[in-house]
Amino acid sequence: MGKIIFHIDVNSAFLSWEAVYRLRHRGESQDLRETASAVGGDIAARHGIILAKSIPAGKYGIKTGETIPEARKKCPDLMLVPPNYGLYEKCSDAFMKILRKYSDRVEQYSIDEAFMDMTSSCHLFGSGEETAVMIKDRIRKELGFTVNVGVSSNKLLAKMASDLKKPDRVHTLYPEEIQSKMWPLPVSDLFFVGPATARKLISMGIRTIGELAESDPAWLKSVLKKQGEIVWQFANGIDISPVLERPPINKGYGNSTTTPTDVTDRQTAGQVLLALAETVGTRIRADHVQIQTVSVGIRYADMTYVSHQKKLWSSTNLTWEIYQAASRLFADLWDGSPIRHLGIHTGSVWEEDFIRQTELFDKTDYGKLAGLDAAVDNIRKRYGMDAVMRAAFLDQPFGRYENAKGSSM
């Protein structure tokens, strides 16, 4: 028997969870999902980004990841609600708990989506589609929000299937359905094709997934390097990655880069370190682990190299903490000479449920920081790294490190 893989995705997760909470626990009559509404950043200060939007809001052209002022221009009457990260974690836990009643092979991909390997358990409930409908309807009945379920023989096709039409749907996308269901879609809809890659492909005359699938893979690889090979495989429905209940733990995570020009001031160095901390933090959180040591390495223009590391008071996966530690290490290390290369590396990896040790007078709101990281990770995973960018990185050559040297040891 071939594999049966599900991808389950909560429809407009943050907004749906907020809507259910308001309806069921606050007794409100208006359903946020049925009006032009969105979950946004700092609403009082009128800045921040759109973290989730309703389907009616989407009809105004509002997109996840755009700024609140941009969204307001498109829909002046847009109803905005602040994020509630504690609520989202509880809803996510309840969602995952239901999925694990149907399979012992569940891989949580993000706070609001997961893969399930149903190969050995599907026969207990019915066909693939019947079981998917059963799970979808149970989540709606017990938890009050809707999901889409994609059904196929591998993770890539299951994920593509769950995105076909929303909300509250079950879609199949088996290999024999690729040409009719997936190939006509815009190339930007393919998983792993972000905005920058989509623009590149379109400039090469490739506008649909089908055109990408029928392109010469060697040519794609020559232009897009390793990514060209990957997206060609995905366009043809090729994916051999297993559903992993828990990925193996790496020994450490790091990223480094050679700067476009020699760095000679502390502010520029800080921006480079922040960009590196973001990529390292994203990888750590994706593997559901934490780290407790941070090291910074500096290679000067004369090619001499210095490095220093420190052990944190408690393990972390927060971008802000990694950046703060790296900044302190850099301040101790840098002698003022021009910098050619900077790197951040981390180690002492722990399981994600390791209990945080707090210092007596530490007033940091770690829950809020974790929620912000989770929200940004979720948006970037769905829409690409360009979907959310710090204001400090705008018009800077080091805002993202697509060609930086990254490591997971």
Confidence bin at 304 (pLDDT 50/70/90): confident
- 144 located within any domain: no
Q: Are strands 79-81 and 37-42 parallel, antiparallel or unpaired?
A: parallel
Instruction: Give the domain-ending residue among 85, 111, 133.
Output: 85
CB atoms within 10 A of CB 7: 29
Q: CA–CA separation, 380 vs 116, rounded Å?
A: 22
HSE on the CB side for 277, CA within 13 Å?
24
Closest residue by Cα to residue 208 from 185, 234, 189, 181: 185
317 and 215 both lie in a single domain: no
pLDDT in tens, 107-139: 988 889 999 999 999 999 999 999 999 999 999
User: How large is the average pLDDT for residues 264-285?
Assistant: 91
What is the domain-level CATH number for residue 191?
Answer: 1.10.150.20
Which band of pLDDT confidence, cut at 50, 70 and 90, is reported for residue 357?
low
Q: What percent of the chain has pLDDT over 70?
A: 87
Shared domain check, 211 and 322: no
User: 362 with 278, same domain?
Assistant: yes
257 with 401, same domain: the answer is: yes
Instruction: Tell me, yes or no, whether 90 lies in a domain.
Output: no
Is the pLDDT score of 148 beyond 90?
A: yes
What's the pLDDT band for 200 if we cut at 50, 70, 90?
very high
Query: Of 257-266, 377-386, 397-406, which gets the smallest average pLDDT?
Result: 397-406
Q: Where are the beta strands (DSSP E) in 348-394?
A: 350-351
Statement to judge: residues 286 and 194 lie in one domain: no
Task: Find the CATH number of the domain harbouring 273.
Answer: 3.30.1490.100
Higher pLDDT, 182 or 379: 182
Name the domain boundary from 44, 63, 85. 85
CB 313 within 8 A of CB 405: no
Q: Note whether 205 and 309 are same-domain residues.
A: no
Q: What confidence category does residue 388 fall into, taking pLDDT thresholds of 50, 70 and 90?
A: low
Please indicate, yes or no, whether residues 216 and 315 belong to a single structural domain of this protein: no
How many residues are listed for the chain in this entry? 409
Annotated catalytic residue, options 113, 129, 177, 211: 113
Range 248-274 average pLDDT: 86
Domain limits at 294? Answer: 253-408
Identify residue 185 by its one-letter amino acid code.
L
Q: What's the total number of domains in the chain?
A: 3
Could you tell me if 274 and 289 are in contact, meaning their C-beta atoms sit under 8 angstroms apart? Answer: no
In whole angstroms, give the CA distance from residue 376 to residue 312: 24
Can you tell me the distance from the alpha carbon of 287 to that of 200, in angstroms, rounded to the nearest whole number? Answer: 29
Do the domain assignments include residue 156? no
Q: What is the pTM of this model?
A: 0.67
Residues 303 and 204 in one domain: no
pLDDT band at 352 (very low <50, low <70, confident <90, very high): low
Q: What is the pLDDT of residue 379?
A: 77
- In this structure, the answer to whether residues 204 and 317 fall within a common structural domain is no
CB neighbours of residue 314 within 10 Å:
16
Q: Is 113 a catalytic residue?
A: yes
348 and 386, same structural domain?
yes
Is 174 a domain residue? no
Q: How many CA atoms lie within 13 A of 117 on its CB side?
A: 14
User: Ranked by mean pLDDT, which of 76-85, 131-140, 273-282, 283-292 comes out on top?
Assistant: 131-140
Tokens 């901390």 correspond to what residue? 277
Examine residue 283 and state whether it is found in any structural domain, yes or no. Answer: yes
Please give the average per-residue pLDDT across 178-195, as a whole number: 94
What distance in Å separates the CA atoms of residue 80 and residue 54, rounded to the nearest whole number?
11
